[in-house]
Amino acid sequence: MNTIRHVLDGALEGLGVDAQLRDDIGLIVSETWANVIAHVRIGVAFQVRATVDEKQCVIEVTHPGPAAVEQINALTASGHSLRVVRSLADEVDVDSDDLLVRVTKRL
């Protein structure tokens, strides 16, 4: 997780995004990760991907294969991490198809 935060912060800094917004996005990444770790059972693989352009940053967590549906559906439960993410992000989508979480933050 530290690697994605570091790379993402560098990309955002290169685009001229101010430090406070970069910190918010770093916290979104951490809390999204924490939420997935808390709800996905051991042995279920997942991927974290971040894309950035001049307008927005999108963070997606997906499971690249078979997963335990009952565990994935647990992500929809309101928890502390997801509340933090929702308070900082512009859009949060949870549990649709292979997508566990998709978070969008406008720059």
Domain of residue 34, CATH code: 3.30.565.10
Residue 23 has pLDDT above 80, yes or no: yes
Residues whose CB is less than 8 angstroms from the CB of residue 56 and which lie 6 or more positions away in sequence, other chains included: 90, 104, 105, 106, 107
Do 93 and 86 form a contact (C-beta atoms < 8 A)?
no
Please report the pLDDT score of residue 65 as a whole number. Answer: 59
Residue 39 has pLDDT above 80, yes or no: no
Number of domains within the chain: 1
Percent of the chain with pLDDT over 70: 76
Residues linked to residue 101 through DSSP beta bridges, in sequence order = 61, 94
Do 72 and 57 form a contact (C-beta atoms < 8 A)?
no
Please report the pLDDT score of residue 57 as a whole number. Answer: 97
Please report the pLDDT score of residue 107 as a whole number. Answer: 96
Percent of the chain with pLDDT over 90: 46
Query: In terms of residue numbers, what domain contains 35?
Result: 2-106
pLDDT band at 13 (very low <50, low <70, confident <90, very high): very high
pLDDT band at 37 (very low <50, low <70, confident <90, very high): confident
Three-class secondary structure assignment of the chain: CHHHHHHHHHHHHHCCCCHHHHHHHHHHHHHHHHHHHHHCCCCCCCEEEEEECCCEEEEEEECCCCCCHHHHHHHHCCCHHHHHHHHHCCEEEEEECCEEEEEEEEC
- 49-100 per-position pLDDT tens digit: 899 999 999 999 887 655 544 444 445 455 678 889 999 999 998 865 556 7
